[in-house]
Amino acid sequence: MGTRKRTCGTGEKDNSLHLSRMGWNSYFQAQLQGCCSDDFLPARVVGVSKNSFRISNGEEEWRAVLAGRLMHPPHGRYPVTGDWVLAADSVIVKVLNRTNALCRGASGTHGKPDALPKREQVIAANLDTVFVVCGLDRDFNLRRIERYLTLVYNCGLNPVILLTKADLHRDPMPFVSELETVAFGVSIHVVSGLDGKGLLPLDGYLSPGQTAAMVGSSGAGKSTLVNRLYGKAIQATGSVSLRIGKGTHTTTARDLIMMPQGGMLIDNPGLREIAFWNDDGGVRAAFPEIENLAGACRFSNCRHMHEPGCRVLQAIAAGEILQDRLDSYHKMKRELAYLSLRQQKRADRVEKEQWKAVSLKIKALKKERRNR
């Protein structure tokens, strides 16, 4: 890897095949209209470390820095792993619009219900699949999986659940049955990073041009799966027993890895907090059985708390839906409603400040004109 110079796809060498293997498509191609100089090269961000980016065009990988004007508003957009950029030699001059992004509220809320995240953290961009990885050890937790599914749906992305460490059980199927009660219509794969069992069907998510990302708790077994899928140890893995308290993540960077299957995989450090930032109908998608029953409640604005004629509460009484599941639904709804209120308040405040700045500028201009 080094600095390099070469004209882009339209120039000296057509590397469109390599680019499309990396997920380049007509959506990104269309963004070159009118802005592509022959000195600009499309490349994908494969690694980020502070203000230095590793980018690749599928043939070569090199380091680049961000052009100064991209660091600040209104042009500012900080590239994340998976982003497509235009680079002039080793300077990123444009970050292309994303097809999607996996985002969460930046950590620091320490699980306090009132301490909602103050800003967004984009984990990765331009994804086809998000693997929600859960170890079949003490990591197995239906409520946490529900939360991951809601987060992924809220970003408009496709979740696939990987239940790993299956080698720890003679029969892991009871876990699947339990999970099926909260993961309607989501593909579930029972796998083992240790002996490689169950991994073959995952190749389908990693074919050329496809990008998948892994999320899950620290110690769930993500990096072990990456290594097994890759065919050799490329990611560091760590012992679960050594993970006590903070600072115990083995994976600390988000790298986009070119897989032998032809596609790309992004490993992620374990998420300590699964804080929401977006709300794109994730609760509706993650709790379809509750949403479907809600249509039969007596009141159209039924909150399924204690209203008469509530079909959801009837299902709880009949044991068709578990109380924990409804509690989880209510909690996420409340959280998202509060988040949306806070985001709206913040947007109003920013708009007010912008108007104030504009009116001050007009006043100053008028004064200047009068004094002339």
Ligand X SMILES: Nc1nc2c(ncn2[C@@H]2O[C@H](COP(=O)(O)OP(=O)(O)OP(=O)(O)O)[C@@H](O)[C@H]2O)c(=O)[nH]1
**For binding to ligand X (CB under 6 A), which residues are involved?**
164-165, 167-168, 192-194, 216, 218-224, 237-240, 249-251, 269-270
**129-150 burial, b if ≥16 CB within 10 A, otherwise e?**
bbbbbbbbeebbebebbbbbbb
Q: Is 196 annotated as a binding residue?
A: no
Q: Is 239 annotated as a binding residue?
A: no
Q: Does 304 bind Zn ion (CB under 5 A)?
A: yes
Helix, strand, coil percentages, rounded to 5, for the chain: 35, 20, 45
Q: Does 315 bind Zn ion (CB under 5 A)?
A: no
Q: Is 223 annotated as a binding residue?
A: yes
The distance of closest approach from Cβ of residue 225 to ligand X in the complex, given in angstroms and rounded to an integer, is 7
Residue 97 vs residues 73, 83, 170, 318: alpha-carbon distances, Å: 16, 8, 47, 48
Q: Which token pair is 157?
A: 């992305």
DSSP H helices in the chain? 16-21, 26-29, 142-154, 173-180, 222-230, 282-286, 288-294, 311-317, 323-371
Which among 10-18, 204-212, 311-319, 328-336 is the span making contact with Zn ion, rule CB under 5 A? 311-319
304 binds, among Zn ion, ligand X, none (CB under 5 to 8 A by kind): Zn ion
The DSSP 8-state label assigned to residue 269 in this structure reads P
- Amino acid occupying residue 71: M
Q: Does 283 bind Zn ion (CB under 5 A)?
A: no
Size of the site for Zn ion (CB under 5 A): 5
Query: Please, which residue, 30 or 317, has the CB nearer to Zn ion?
Result: 317
Query: Please, which residue, 42 or 135, has the CB nearer to ligand X?
Result: 135
**Interatomic CA distance for residues 231 and 46, integer angstroms:** 20
Q: Which token pair is 273?
A: 């907090």
302 binds, among ligand X, Zn ion, none (CB under 5 to 8 A by kind): Zn ion
Q: Does 104 bind Zn ion (CB under 5 A)?
A: no
Query: Please, which residue, 57 or 250, has the CB nearer to ligand X?
Result: 250
192 binds, among ligand X, Zn ion, none (CB under 5 to 8 A by kind): ligand X
Q: Is 39 annotated as a binding residue?
A: no
- Amino acid occupying residue 226: V
Q: Does 325 bind Zn ion (CB under 5 A)?
A: no
**Interatomic CA distance for residues 116 and 139, integer angstroms:** 24
Which among 56-64, 75-83, 104-112, 292-300 is the span making contact with Zn ion, rule CB under 5 A? 292-300
Q: Is 135 annotated as a binding residue?
A: no
**Interatomic CA distance for residues 331 and 241, integer angstroms:** 31
Query: Please, which residue, 134 or 264, has the CB nearer to ligand X?
Result: 134
Q: Pick out the residues of the known binding site.
A: 164-167, 216-224, 297, 302, 304, 310
Which residues contact Zn ion by CB under 5 A?
297, 302, 304, 310, 312
Q: Pick out the residues of the known binding site for Zn(2+).
A: 297, 302, 304, 310
